Amino acid sequence: MQFTEEQTVKLTLAKELLEKLGLPKAQCNNRSAWVFLALADIKPNDNWAEAKSPLLPTVTIMEFIRNEYGMDYKPNSRETIRRQTLHQFEQARIIDRNRDNPARATNSKDNNYSLNKEVINILVEYPKGNWEKKILEYKNSVTELTEQYKRTREIHMIPIKTPDGRVFELSPGEHNKLHADIIYEFCSRFIGSDGHILYIGDTASSREEKGKYMLLETEYLKSLNVSPMSHDKLPDVIVYDEKNNWLFLIEAVTSHGPISPKRWVELEVAFKECKAGLVYVTAFPNQNTFRKYAADIAWETEVWIADNPSHMIHFNGDRFLGPHKKG
C-alpha cells in the first residue's frame, strides 16, 4: 500500500511519540499510531499544535483512519482496535473513556474515547518544542491521573447488598441498575427473607474488566441439581425461594431478550434436572420498554416493571383468573 509523504511522516512521528510515552512495543505499531492520530484529529497536513480531543467511538476512529490515511480496517477489526490499542491507551492514562458520561455501561454502543489534556499539552509542543519536558511531567502524573480516573469510575458503580450481608458493586449502566432494582424491590416484595441470591450477571463482560458475572453460587445450584453451564445460558438473576422450593429465573430487559417462547424452551432444557419449581420472570425498567417487547413474552411466565414495583403481570392463562378485591 502506497502512502503519501505527509501520511508517512505523521505515522512515523506518532509511533516515535508512543514509544517516548512508554507504551509497550505492541502498541507502538502502525495500528496504534493511526488510532492516536485519529484521537488527536491530526490529518496528514495538520500541525501537531492543532491537536484536539473529540469524543470518538471506535467506528469513527476507523473512518478517520480510512479517510485520512488510506488504511481501510474492516468492521471485524473493531474489537482488535479496542482490545489491542484503546485498552492499553486507557491503562497508560493517555485517553479517557466516556468523559461525557462515566456512568455509561461498558457494553454501550455509545462508548467513546478521547485524549486527556496532559497528552494534548505534549502535542502542542511536538515535535520541535519543549515536548520532552512535557512527557516527564505526564509520566510523573500518571499515578495521580490513574487514581483520579478510578475514583471517577467508582462513584458511578452500583452497589448491591444481598440479604446475607454481602456487598457487591456492579459496573455502571441501565442494565445493571435494573439488576439492583430486582434485588432491592422485586425480591423484597415477592420472595422475602427466604430468598437466596444464587447468580447476578454483570454487563461488564470483557476479561480485562469485571467478568461476565458478579455472583455465582455454584455449590448451592448443584444442591438443587442445576449443572454448571456457560454464563450465556444463564438468566440475568437467579434467586431461590427456600420456603416454597421455587427457583426464580429472571431476565433483566433494557435493550434485548425477554423470556420469549424460544428462551423459555432453552431455560427448560438447561434446568430440566432442577429439584425446585421454576418461576420465569422478565423484568423491565419501565412501561415503555415493556410495551416494546410485550408481543414476545411467553405464556406461563411473569412480568415485573421496576417503576411500578408493587404489581406484576401474569402471562399464565387461567391460573389467576377471577375478580380482584374492591378498593
151 and 282 fall within a common domain? no
Residues 266 and 122 both lie in one domain = no
Q: Which set of grid coordinates corresponds to residue 234?
A: 444463564
User: Please, are residues 110 and 56 in contact by the beta-carbon 8 Å criterion?
Assistant: no
Into how many domains does the chain fold? Answer: 2
Residue 15 sits in the same domain as residue 136: yes
Residue 326 lies in a domain: no
CATH number of the domain residue 121 falls in: 1.10.10.1820
Phi, psi of 77 (to 5 degrees): -85, -10
Q: Is 10:34 a contact under the CB 8 Å cutoff?
A: no
Among 195, 193, 198, CA closest to 213:
198
For residue 62, tell me if it sits in a domain: yes
- Are 231 and 149 in the same domain? no
Domain enclosing residue 175, as ranges = 160-315
- Looking up residue 261, the CATH number of its domain turns out to be 3.40.1350.80
pLDDT of residue 209: 41
How confident is the model over 77-106, as pLDDT tens digits? Answer: 999 999 899 988 988 889 999 999 877 766
pTM of the model: 0.55
pLDDT of res. 232: 67
Q: In this structure, are 186 and 203 located in the same domain?
A: yes
Report yes or no on 185 lying in a domain.
yes
**pLDDT number for residue 150:** 62
Weakly modelled stretches of the chain, pLDDT under 50: 205-211
164 and 286 share a domain?
yes
pLDDT for the residue numbered 60: 97
Q: What is the pLDDT of residues 222-272, one digit of tens each?
A: 999 998 876 668 899 999 998 899 999 999 998 778 999 999 999 999 999
Instruction: Give residue 261's identity as a one-letter amino acid code.
Output: P
